[in-house]
Chain A
Amino acid sequence: MVTKVLLCAVFLVVEIFGDTKTDEDNCDLSGKWLESIKVTRDIWKMGFHRELVTTVECGPSSPEKLQTLLVQNLPRGVYIDPYQLASLQQDTGLQVVLDSEVDLEAPAYESNGLFMFVYPTRDLQHPRHLQAVVPIHGRYHRPSSGQGWEQLEIEPPRLFLRANGCAQLLPAPHVLMDAPCSGYNLSMCKWMEIQLPQDQRNISLELPVGNQSLLVPVCTGTLLATLLCCVIIANAIWRHGFL
């Protein structure tokens, strides 16, 4: 009896596997479909706490099991809080993997840039859109004597695709890369790079910086004000203290 059940189970597994296999053969990533892929970017919010929004728009006949990966470099003027990411992963399902430790407090001139894997998820309002909203935070910059703002450029991401079991998404040649399979599963998967149109531009944000030309008045003002306050308090203590 037991053998019969086992045999049955094996048969079922083979059949399910077989089914997926036929599906996978229809990976159907034609050149036309690939051309329909568009990556758009935006920055939401103002000030030191922003959101980098990347949207991947796929054409109508995109495969169901298609997974996307964005490889994004960030300049050293901004950082990502890994603890905030962990909490967002629980709350909103945001999937981001960072490749290195992040100093949450260092100013820009003492930091390095960051490199992250972003896994956009399906936007419920637009079923053909895959979107990732990643919170980024501005670092303090060196004061300048110029405009009072520091402009930061965020370069476009590289786009990678993967479909379960589809070894041959595209006719060769194409670039394959090993990267974590998802934000939840850090084992390595093979990802295939999709060349985005050349017109992808940097997106930029501005952060306020201190005014270096005010150095002398600020130092003088601060020291005089604190000294004055110190003398006023000392005088009160001298007059009313139990000395």
Chain B
Amino acid sequence: MDWIMITFLRKWSLFTFAFFIRVVLVVFGVYQDKTMVVKYTDIDYHVFTDASQFITEGASPYRRATYRYTPLLAWLLTPNIYLTPVFGKLLFVTCDVVSSYLTYGILRGRGMSCQAACSYCSLWLLNPLPMGVSSRGNAESLLAVLVLSMLSCMERRHLAKAAFFYGLSVHMKIYPVTYALPLALSLRTREQANVGETTVPMGRRLARFLLGLLNRDVLQFFVIAGGVFCGLTLLFYHMYGWEFLQETYLYHLTRRDIRHNFSPYFYMLYLTAESSWSLALGLAAFLPQLALLLLTSLAFHSDLALCCFLHTAIFVSFNKVCTSQYFLWYLCLLPLVLPRLMLSLKQGLGLLVLWFAGQAIWLAPAYYLEFEGQNTFVLIWIAGLLFLAINTFILVQIISHYKQEDIHHCQKLD
């Protein structure tokens, strides 16, 4: 067993092996698609490829129904048409490995040993979930690369680069927009801690706090990020018009899918879809999400990796629509959070089992509804609430066992 561990913890062998498995999965996918009834390739990959086909014909990618992404993605995947249909999958699995390499860089930058950094990266590199998702042709790994690049640049104080990656990531998928507040807070000018701090009136402290947000770093960051975001938006608006705004941004902001999904709100939104208080309920569902995001930003902005992780996990868990791909948005940040968690291996594994159990409990009635025609709506609703409770429990465990200073877990490897 020892030699296997030692080989894996050598950086290059681990990353090469992880890439190799993913390429094997891509090749297997081609084989399965050709020979079996159940296809390996995700439906979204066909959507991307069809949209790229329209691009190569000089048409709008939005002619493909359900293409709800930036045209950049369809542009990026035009080699699917010109070169080979698996180009996109190879790109996604490469991004998968690259994102882990960025994690490795961040962990090493914090002073962690090569072996320890590799062991944390292997949680992503050897994890069947991201492997499956990207080799089936989902583009989530592109976002992982952008978000981790942003965090990596922030840790090294390369603000302009970080801002560029941030602007691009918000353009690609709207969810990192919630990181704006913690980013601004982490860049603000900090007050000098005075002994008589507590005697300063609340109003003046608030004014000082707000003024602290108006410094050069914050302005530079948001001018660049905003420039990238607005530049791309204007460019694509000019090319594809209103349809682009509608499909890329507005659809995701106003999305209210009544079909079953992991969200705790799904059954309520389905039952009230046509009712007059549907809008009020939508707002009521939005408030916990908003309150927690604000509180997390204030509490954890000094540790951006943790803050982004909590932000994404809260955003996804309390969202009105939630599918399993969304889980990858925060899982890619987990290797940055884990080294500072004071949980034993047993506790960690326990939480992991709990998380998967929550999904399994939801998947069983969802399967019976979708493929067996049984009326399991109530069970799916209860399972959705249970999954939220499990996520809440895990988040509380993470928040309460997190220590800001670095703890090296090298001894775990021996």
**Chain A interface (Cβ < 8 Å from any Cβ of B):** 45-49, 83, 87, 101-105, 107, 109, 140, 142-143, 148-149, 206-212, 214-215, 218-219, 221-223, 225-227, 229-230, 232-234, 236-243
**Least distance between A106 CB and chain B CB atoms (Å):** 10
A107 touches B369 (CB 8 A): no
A242 touches B303 (CB 8 A): yes
**Least distance between A24 CB and chain B CB atoms (Å):** 40
B341 at the interface (CB under 8 A from A): no
Q: Given A218-B267, A237-B299, A47–B392 Cβ distance below 8 Å? A: no
B374 touches A208 (CB 8 A): yes
**Least distance between B310 CB and chain A CB atoms (Å):** 8
**Chain B interface (Cβ < 8 Å from any Cβ of A):** 46-47, 50, 65-66, 257-259, 264-265, 267-268, 270-274, 281, 284-285, 288, 291-292, 295-296, 298-300, 302-303, 314, 318, 369-378, 381, 385, 388-389, 391-392, 395-396, 399-400, 402, 404
B292 touches A230 (CB 8 A): yes
A107 touches B258 (CB 8 A): yes
B271 touches A210 (CB 8 A): yes
Can you list the 4 inter-chain pairs with the closest CB atoms, starting with the nearest?
A241-B299, A230-B288, A208-B375, A229-B392
Report B-chain residues with C-beta under 8 Å of the C-beta of A101: 65
13 contacts between A and B (CB under 8 A): A47-B370, A107-B258, A140-B270, A143-B270, A210-B267, A210-B270, A211-B377, A222-B267, A223-B281, A230-B318, A233-B292, A233-B314, A236-B400
B272 touches A219 (CB 8 A): yes
B295 touches A234 (CB 8 A): yes
**In the complex, A109→B396 CA distance in Å?**
42
Residue of A nearest to B317 (CB): A229
A222 touches B295 (CB 8 A): no
Q: Given A48-B370, A230-B288, A240–B399 Cβ distance below 8 Å? A: yes
**Least distance between B188 CB and chain A CB atoms (Å):** 15
Report A-chain residues with C-beta under 8 Å of the C-beta of B370: 47-49
Report A-chain residues with C-beta under 8 Å of the C-beta of B373: 46-48, 206-208
**Least distance between A32 CB and chain B CB atoms (Å):** 40
**In the complex, A83→B404 CA distance in Å?**
50
User: Contact partner of B399 among A87, A212, A236, CB < 8 A?
Assistant: A236
User: Contact partner of A104 among B65, B274, B392, B396, CB < 8 A?
Assistant: B65
**In the complex, A159→B303 CA distance in Å?**
69
**In the complex, A102→B399 CA distance in Å?**
46
Residue of A nearest to B398 (CB): A236
B378 touches A243 (CB 8 A): no
Report A-chain residues with C-beta under 8 Å of the C-beta of B376: 208
B268 touches A46 (CB 8 A): no
**Least distance between B64 CB and chain A CB atoms (Å):** 8
B395 touches A236 (CB 8 A): yes
**Least distance between A21 CB and chain B CB atoms (Å):** 42
13 additional contacts (CB under 8 A) given A46-B372, A101-B65, A105-B259? A48-B369, A83-B46, A102-B65, A140-B258, A143-B270, A211-B378, A215-B271, A219-B271, A226-B264, A226-B318, A230-B318, A241-B300, A241-B399
B265 touches A242 (CB 8 A): no
Report B-chain residues with C-beta under 8 Å of the C-beta of A237: 292, 295-296, 299-300, 399
**In the complex, A243→B404 CA distance in Å?**
13
A226 touches B400 (CB 8 A): no
**Least distance between B23 CB and chain A CB atoms (Å):** 24
Q: Given A140-B259, A219-B272, A208–B377 Cβ distance below 8 Å? A: yes
**In the complex, A241→B299 CA distance in Å?**
5
**In the complex, A229→B371 CA distance in Å?**
31
**In the complex, A148→B376 CA distance in Å?**
10
B264 touches A222 (CB 8 A): yes
Report B-chain residues with C-beta under 8 Å of the C-beta of A206: 373
User: Contact partner of A230 among B270, B291, B385, CB < 8 A?
Assistant: B291
Report A-chain residues with C-beta under 8 Å of the C-beta of B288: 226-227, 229-230
Residue of A nearest to B400 (CB): A240
B392 touches A142 (CB 8 A): no
Report B-chain residues with C-beta under 8 Å of the C-beta of A107: 258, 273
Q: Given A47-B371, A83-B50, A243-B298, A233–B271 Cβ distance below 8 Å? A: no
Residue of B nearest to A101 (CB): B65
Report B-chain residues with C-beta under 8 Å of the C-beta of A219: 268, 271-272, 281
User: Contact partner of B291 among A143, A212, A234, CB < 8 A?
Assistant: A234
Report B-chain residues with C-beta under 8 Å of the C-beta of A104: 65-66
Report A-chain residues with C-beta under 8 Å of the C-beta of B378: 211, 214
Report A-chain residues with C-beta under 8 Å of the C-beta of B291: 230, 234
Report A-chain residues with C-beta under 8 Å of the C-beta of B50: 83
A210 touches B395 (CB 8 A): no
**Least distance between A220 CB and chain B CB atoms (Å):** 9
**In the complex, A144→B78 CA distance in Å?**
46
**In the complex, A243→B258 CA distance in Å?**
38
**In the complex, A83→B48 CA distance in Å?**
12
User: Contact partner of A222 among B268, B273, B302, B389, CB < 8 A?
Assistant: B268
B389 touches A240 (CB 8 A): no
Residue of B nearest to A92 (CB): B37
**In the complex, A215→B272 CA distance in Å?**
8
- Most chain B CB within a 10 A radius of its CB, from A47, A48, A208, A226: A226
Residue of B nearest to A148 (CB): B375
B299 touches A243 (CB 8 A): yes
**In the complex, A233→B281 CA distance in Å?**
21
A234 touches B292 (CB 8 A): yes
A214 touches B271 (CB 8 A): yes
B271 touches A226 (CB 8 A): no
A242 touches B404 (CB 8 A): yes
**Least distance between A37 CB and chain B CB atoms (Å):** 31
Report B-chain residues with C-beta under 8 Å of the C-beta of A109: 274
